Copies of this chain bind each other. A is one copy, B any other.
Amino acid sequence: MTNLGYALLGMLADESRTGYDLAQLMKQQVGYFWSAKHSQIYPELARLESEGLVAFEVIEQQDRPHKKLYHITPAGLEILRNWVTTPAESAPVRDELILKAYCIWLAEPEKAIELFKQEELRHRQQLAHYEQLYIWGEENLQREQRSKHSSLFGKYLSLARGIGHEREYAEWCRWVIEQLEKPDFF
């Protein structure tokens, strides 16, 4: 099983979806921590189906093309449940901006400041976006949905991580700018 497979099972555990729906979700919500293009999703769904972890029914539509609505099977739910609490394997980090930071001693400080100002702005904007989603969610949250067994719970945990991550990243950018603005010897 691949991580993409688990990601798809996770989305289908919440509700039945088409390949197209799954690809859309990966441009929103889920895309903040896992993503894939439709060209990867369709073959992976076919693979999951061949292993009996998902199944689909063809929905015929007038005025729209037909679609395959996938749902998770009991076997799929079982391996997903088993996976969620097993330790995650640590993937190597590859962050282009930190790589640039490592080499920044070669650059003119003014240009470096400009770069980090742009990056800070980018992360502040993403932070504001996440915070807005968080507020909207809080407002519409019913009492019975405030359960560890509601799929909304998972959405909150992941959104909170996004907020913390973007805030921390933006603050590092700011700190880097401060270091670059300091005179060389003091």
Residues of A within 8 A of B (CB): 3, 6-7, 10, 13, 30-35, 77, 80-81, 83-109, 111-112, 114-115, 118-119, 122, 143, 146-158, 160-161, 164-165, 167-168, 171-172, 175-176, 179-180, 184-185
Contacts and interface: CB of A to CB of B under 8 A. Distances in A.
Contacts of A97: 88
Given A88-B119, A94-B3, A96-B89, A10 B102 contact: yes
Task: Please tell me how many copies of the chain the complex holds.
Answer: 2
Most buried by B among A77, A88, A109: A88
Nearest to A156: B179
A135 B110 CA distance: 28
B104 A153 contact: yes
Contact of A161 (B77, B94, B172, B184): B172
Across the A-B interface, the 7 shortest Cβ-Cβ residue pairs: A33-B98, A85-B111, A88-B96, A10-B103, A168-B168, A101-B157, A102-B154
A157 B146 CA distance: 40
A31 to B, nearest CB: 7
B85 A112 contact: yes
Contact of A13 (B81, B86, B106): B106
B118 A100 contact: no
B148 A109 contact: yes
